[in-house]
Amino acid sequence: DGGITQSPKYLFRKEGQNVTLSCEQNLNHDAMYWYRQDPGQGLRLIYYSQIVNDFQKGDIAEGYSVSREKKESFPLTVTSAQKNPTAFYLCASSRTTRGGTYNEQFFGPGTRLTVL
Amino acid sequence: GQNIDQPTEMTATEGAIVQINCTYQTSGFNGLFWYQQHAGEAPTFLSYNVLDGLEEKGRFSSFLSRSKGYSYLLLKELQMKDSASYLCAVPNSGNTPLVFGKGTRLSVIA
């Protein structure tokens, strides 16, 4: 079965600690994305990558870092510099858009991070 | 940039029809997506409109008017399981990711 996996589903960390969220896809998608969702809010883009070894900042990249060493994997690190890291984090992937035609994004199940 | 506006909450009765509106402002248009998201779960794709008009897919239909910067999602024969948030999203520009509205939380009551 093809899909996107995120682990763990729930994560607790102490304030001041870095934490890395996993995202893996076997859909052979070139593009991958990280979003953050807070209660009552829409999805806000943190980082995205359209090809291996390349990624761009989204709207709220401060305090986060990513890597894209493999097509299948796009881990997100929440650093201690992120002032309010408690949130629901969603990873997504899609085929690359071309010529103005967009492809739907497929989402993973999400990781709920709580910083104590 | 993009500006997307949706109602925050709506309530409808089981078996009824509900229309969820979305207005957007964009410098260039490359289509509009609707996603459904149940509480605590990932969004799932519902529809993608690029051309004006109504597209029907079972109980769900999506309408687009590019000249008015307006879309709506129409849900017929509402079921309790339709209680969820419905997210409207448009691409930012060029080959960039989707920008999502804050979502409309729909509650279906008996």
Q: Do A45 and B33 touch (CB under 8 A)?
A: no
- The whole-number pLDDT of residue B36 equals 97
| Residue B48 near residue A104 (C-beta atoms within 8 A) | yes
Q: Do B97 and A98 touch (CB under 8 A)?
A: no
Instruction: Measure in Å the smallest separation between the Cα of A80 and chain B Cα atoms.
Output: 25
Q: Which residues of A touch B31 (CB under 8 A)?
A: 101-102
The phi and psi torsions of B61 (rounded to 5 degrees) equal -135, 150
Q: Do A101 and B30 touch (CB under 8 A)?
A: yes
Q: Indicate the helix (H) or strand (E) that contains A59.
A: none
Instruction: Measure in Å the smallest separation between the Cα of A1 and chain B Cα atoms.
Output: 17
Q: Do B40 and A100 touch (CB under 8 A)?
A: no
Instruction: Measure in Å the smallest separation between the Cα of B14 and chain A Cα atoms.
Output: 24
The phi and psi torsions of B91 (rounded to 5 degrees) equal -65, 150
Give the residue from B88, B98, B104 with the most A CB atoms within 10 Å of its CB, the best one to mutate.
Answer: B98
Please identify every stretch of chain B with a pLDDT value under 50, giving residue numbers as ranges: none
Q: Which of B41, B97, B100 sits opposite A42 (nearest CB)?
A: B100
Q: Which of A20-29, A91-100, B2-11, B74-83 has the lowest mean pLDDT?
A: A91-100
Please calculate the CA angle A10-A16-A17 and round it to the nearest 5 degrees: 50
Condensed to tens digits (0 to 9), the pLDDT of residues B69-84 reads 999 999 999 999 999 9
List residues in chain A touching B: CB distance below 8 A: 31, 33, 35, 40-45, 48, 50, 58, 88, 90, 96-98, 100-102, 104-110, 112
- On the question of pLDDT at A101 being above 70, the answer is no
Task: Count A/B contacts: CB-CB distance under 8 Å.
Answer: 57
How high does pLDDT run on average in chain A?
91
Q: What is the dihedral of CA A50, A52, A57, A62, to 10 degrees?
A: 150
- On the question of pLDDT at A100 being above 60, the answer is no
Omega within 30 of 0 (cis) for the link into A8? yes
- The whole-number pLDDT of residue B30 equals 77
**Taking Cα atoms as reference points, which of B3, B22, B4, B5 lies closest to residue B71?**
B22
Residues 6 or more apart whose CB falls under 8 angstroms from that of B50 comprise A101, B30, B31, B32, B64
